[in-house]
Structure 1
C-alpha cells in the first residue's frame, strides 16, 4: 500500500459521505416545506423533528465529511505533485474542471447551510418543488468532476 492509494481511498469515502448528505438534505427541506399546508399540532411536531434531522445531518455528517474530503484532497494534490516537486498537472484542463467543481460544491454546501437557518427561523420562501428540483445539483457537478479526473480531459 502506498500513500497515494490510501489518500485516494479515504478521499473517495469522505466525498461519498459529503455527497450523500448534500443529496438528502434538500429532500428534508422539501418535506419541511410540505408541512406548511398541514394543521397544528401535527405541523409543528413534524417540522420540529425534520429541523432536528436537518441540523444533525449538516453538523454531524455533511460538515465533517466536507472538511475531511478537502483535507484529503489537498493531501492527494501534494502527493500527485511529487511532494511539491512538479505542479504542472494543476494547470491541466481536467484539474481546472475539478477545482471549479470543488468550488461549486462548496457554494452549494454554503447555500444549504444558510437555507437551514432560514428554515429554522421560519423565513424561508423556498417551495417543496424548488427543493425537489434542486436536489440533483451536487450529483450533476460530481458527474463532471469524476469524469474530468478519471479521463483526465485535455491531458
Structure 2
C-alpha cells in the first residue's frame, strides 16, 4: 500500500477538526435546550435564543458541511487502496452519519419551537435527547477504527 499523499493527509486533518467541531456543537446545543427549558424569565429566554442561533448557524452548519465535504474527498481518494465500498462497516457508518444529519436538522426544528415556547418540552426530555449523538459517536468510532468484518 502506498503512503497517503500530503493532500490526503491535509484533508484528513481538516476532516477530524470538522468532526470535532460538529460533535462539540451537537453535544452543546441540546444542553442549551435543557437550560432554556428550565429558565423562567424573558431575559434568559432571549439569551438562550441568541446562543442557540449562533451555535446552530455559526458552528453546527459550517462544521457539518466541512465534515461531509472532506469525508467525500477522503472516500474518493482513499477508495483506490482501501476499498471502502466493499466493506459493510463503511455502509453502516454512512447510515449512522445520515441519521446524525437528521438529528442535526431536528435540532434546528426544535430551536425554532423553543423560540415560540421555551417550555415546549421538559428539561428531562432534552437530557435524553442530548445523549443520542454520543451513541452515534461511539458506534462510528468503533466502525472506523476496528473495521469489523461482518
Relative to the length of structure 1, the TM-score reads: 0.88
| Corresponding residue number in structure 1 for 2:90 | 95
The Cα of 1:58 is off from its aligned counterpart by 0.3
Output the CA distance in 2 between the equivalents of 1:8 and 1:119. Answer: 36
Are residues 1:149 and 2:135 paired?
no
What is the CA deviation profile of residues 112-136 of structure 1, one whole-angstrom value per residue up to 9, with x for unaligned ones?
A: 0000011112276211011112212
Q: Does the CA-based 8 Å contact 2:75-2:84 persist in structure 1?
A: no
What is the CA deviation profile of residues 26-85 of structure 1, one whole-angstrom value per residue up to 9, with x for unaligned ones?
A: 0111111111xx3xxxx1000100110000000100000000000000010111123xxx
Output the CA distance in 1 between the equivalents of 2:101 and 2:143. Answer: 18
Are residues 1:49 and 2:72 paired?
no
Are residues 1:19 and 2:33 paired?
no
| Corresponding residue number in structure 1 for 2:110 | 115
Q: Which runs of 5+ in 2 are unaligned?
A: none
Seen in structure 2, the aligned counterparts of structure 1 residues 52 and 151 have a Cα distance that, compared at 3 Å, is: same
The Cα of 1:89 is off from its aligned counterpart by 2.1
| Corresponding residue number in structure 1 for 2:62 | 64
- CA-based RMSD of the aligned residues comes to 1.8
Are residues 1:34 and 2:32 paired?
no
Output the CA distance in 1 between the equivalents of 2:101 and 2:119. Answer: 21
Q: Which runs of 5+ in 1 are unaligned?
A: none
- Aligned with residue 121 of structure 2, among 110, 119, 126: 126
Are residues 1:7 and 2:11 paired?
yes
